[in-house]
Structure 1
Amino acid sequence: MQLRLFRDSHAVTIIAAIHMRDEQPTIRPATNDDAPALRELIFTILREFNLPPDPDNTDADLNDIESSYFERGGRFDVLVDGSGEIIGSVGLHRVDEGMIELRKMYLRSNERGKGLGTRLLDHALTEARRMGCRRMTLETASQLKTAIGMYTRAGFRPMCGTIHTKRCDQAYEMEL
């Protein structure tokens, strides 16, 4: 995109804003400073699918992302648009030396259908392999049909066993 400068600073601002919206979203590590925006994003999406947020238990990890993920050998990344606004998230929670759990993979509703969910999942799989993990698990809810389709296309298979998250009714696993 070619950017022309005009004498009117308002026109420059508008053109710069249009240019920022055209930029591809980027993935970066989350920090605790992102926690309020992440809670807002994730809780809004949960309510969209009639799933209850659980800030005192399942979602308590969003209160201290750094200690819940990074300090335990995992990671938590956010997808940000050209203006720096968080539009998606994905967490990798270390279970043990060779196993990691995919958590908190969410994408704002107006960003769906653009391949960004697949991009987040591919990023998570790449990072898990880089971290030396051999197996990834996840829990999800049957209402999240599009996400489940994406997981199965990527190679996840249904898993038997205990589901730990109250709002979830399905579990999947994948050998990395």
Structure 2
Amino acid sequence: MENIKIIPYSSELGPFFKSINQPWVEELFAIEAFDQAQFDNPEDTIIKPGGAILFAALGEEIVGTVGLHRISDGNYELVKMGVMPTAQGKGVGMLLGEAILEKAREMEGKKVVLYSHSKLISALKIYRKLGFKEAELEEGKYCRCDIKMELQLSNL
């Protein structure tokens, strides 16, 4: 595995949250209003309400990102995990997943949920390796999602 470094959010890195995630969301789905808000202002929509964003660097290049959106005390949603096509298959997604779950634990998280789609096979493999289990998907949460997964952090 190449030397991948996990970096916390800074305003200088904020634009990478959009530049890494927006292309794959547009290619596979449609941009929803909440997506646009997160892309345009990750600090106000994710960081300030009590969440976190991490980035992955391969050498000097930012190649991946993931967000942790605070739902309520102890409950978080993993959002917008994306890896640049040139860095896929190098373990970046797994390292981002491990790092964001560690961040959730540091933030006294008890449960992390995520919403995904069955056609995102590589992402689902990572989520399962991280310990996420499928849960009942509530109606109307997100238009594009057909899978909900949960991970109880308090049992680890």
| TM-score bracket, shorter-length normalisation | 0.7 to 0.9
Shift of 1:121: 0.4
Q: Give the counterpart letter for 1:157 in structure 2.
A: K
- Where in structure 2 are the equivalents of 1:6-85 lying within 5 Å? 24-48=3-27, 50-54=28-32, 56-83=33-60, 85=61
- Return the alpha-carbon distance in structure 2 between the equivalents of residues 90 and 158 of structure 1: 20
Q: Write the distance in 2 (CA, Å) between the matches of 1:128 and 1:141.
A: 23
Deviation at 1:102, TM superposition (A): 0.3
Contact 2:8–2:54 under 8 Å retained in 1: yes
Structure 2 partner of 1:151: 127
Regions of 4+ moved over 4 Å: none
Q: Does 1:133 align with 2:133?
A: no
Which amino acid in structure 1 is aligned with residue 134 of structure 2?
Answer: P
Which AA in structure 2 matches 1:62?
F
Unaligned stretches of 5+ residues in structure 2: none
Q: Is residue 164 from structure 1 mapped to residue 150 from structure 2 by the alignment?
A: no
Deviations 1:53-75 (A, max 9, x none): 23x33331122222222211111
2:97 match: secondary structure: helix
1:96 Cα shift?
A: 0.9
The secondary structure found in structure 2 opposite 1:59 is helix
CA contact (8 A) 1:32 1:63 kept: no
Structure number with greater Rg is 1
Whether contact under 8 Å (2:137, 2:147) holds in the other structure is no
CA contact (8 A) 1:45 1:108 kept: no
Partners of 1:171 and 1:27 in 2: how far apart? Answer: 26
Superposed CA deviations along residues 79-121 of structure 1, whole A, max 9, x for unmatched, are: 12322x3211110111111111100111111211111111000
Q: From the two aligned structures, give the one with the greater strand fraction.
A: 2
- Which SS does the other structure have where 1:139 is aligned? strand
Q: Which runs of 5+ in 1 are unaligned?
A: 1-22
Deviates more, 1:129-138 or 1:156-165: 156-165
Q: State the distance in 1 between where 2:121 and 2:15 align.
A: 27
| Identity score, percent | 29
Whole-Å Cα distance in 2 between the matches of residues 109 and 51 of structure 1?
A: 17
Distance 1:165 1:32 in 2: 27
Task: Check the 8 A contact 1:38/1:86 in 2, yes or no.
Answer: no
Determine which structure has greater relative contact order: mean sequence separation of CA pairs < 8 Å that are 6+ residues apart, divided by chain length: 2
TM-score, with normalisation over the residues of structure 2?
Answer: 0.87
Q: Is the 8 A contact 1:156 1:174 kept in 2?
A: yes
